Structure 1
Amino acid sequence: MPWPYPGMPQGGYPGAMPSGRSPYPISPTPHSKLAAGLLSIFLGCFGVGNFYLGRTGRGVAQLMLTLIGFLFFFIGPTIAIIWGLIEGILILSSSTGSFWHRDARGWELTD
């Protein structure tokens, strides 16, 4: 076995940090309501607004609807564009405490 790095315990990785805490602080980074709304309006057919807010399931659904929808004479992208437009308007017109004013983690969007 090679020599361990300085500060690393002999047994391996578990217990490398004696305090049990991460060396990098994890602080909430609030998302912008304006950015989320505009991303949903202009790039909503690709799910960018939902990816920005951490709603990856919805983002993938919008992206797949757009990509697969091209096979069906542009019906899918049209639905995804309308979906993104409505979602962007709902985000921009939301008030504090509503579903549309929160990201996937439940944190309020900044105005």
Structure 2
Amino acid sequence: MLGTILSYSAQTGEGVISGADGQRYTFHRNDWRSEAEPVNGRKVDFVGVDGVAQQIYAVAAPPMEKNKLVACLLAFFLGTFGIHKFYLGYNTAGIIMLLVFLFGFILLGIPSVIIGLIAFIEAILYIVKSDEEFEAVYVRGNRAWF
């Protein structure tokens, strides 16, 4: 069963896991089978028996965090090419920005200017958000635009 470590005390070696079934399971460090240390918020796979988690394995490492300053600088300097979208993992949005910018010159450059303005606004939005809010909205929240 999959779950998430809600709390873990390194001093006592005991903790609580919230299972995918909505139940909570206690566990002891002796039942931990992965090299990675048990920490709060870590996703785990385990066998639940009578409210006790056994044979606990850490699931894939958390996703790599994206730096909001890097995203802001990319949006500010290379945003018209959609580079900040590629950095954040929004490949479709990046391709759209790139194509609109490149083919925008056919229409007197107006679409290219609009894409540049969008990138500038996104750079400002990235930098004014707190790190936690940026992570929640643009990294975990899958919000590609504004």
Q: Does 1:102 align with 2:138?
A: yes
Shift of the 98–48 alpha-carbon distance from structure 1 to 2, 3 Å rule, reads closer
* Equivalent AA in structure 2 for residue 91 of structure 1: Y
1:61 to 2:91 alignment: no
Residues 25-65 of structure 1: per-residue CA shift (max 9 Å, x gap):
75522111100011011111000001100011211111111
Percent identity, please: 35
TM-score of the pair, normalised by structure 2? 0.50
From 94, 109, 124, the equivalent of 1:74 is: 109
- Residue 98 of structure 1 deviates from its aligned partner by 5.4
Alignment gaps of 5+ in structure 2: 1-59
Q: Name the one with the larger strand percent.
A: 2
For the pair 1:49 / 2:84, whether they are aligned, the reply is yes
Larger Rg: 2
Q: Which has the higher contact order (CA 8 A, sep 6+)?
A: 1
Which 4+ residue blocks in structure 1 deviate beyond 2 angstroms? 25-28, 95-102
Which is richer in helix? Answer: 1
* Structure 1 residue runs without a partner (length 5+): 1-24
Q: RMSD between aligned alpha carbons?
A: 2.3
Aligned residues: 82
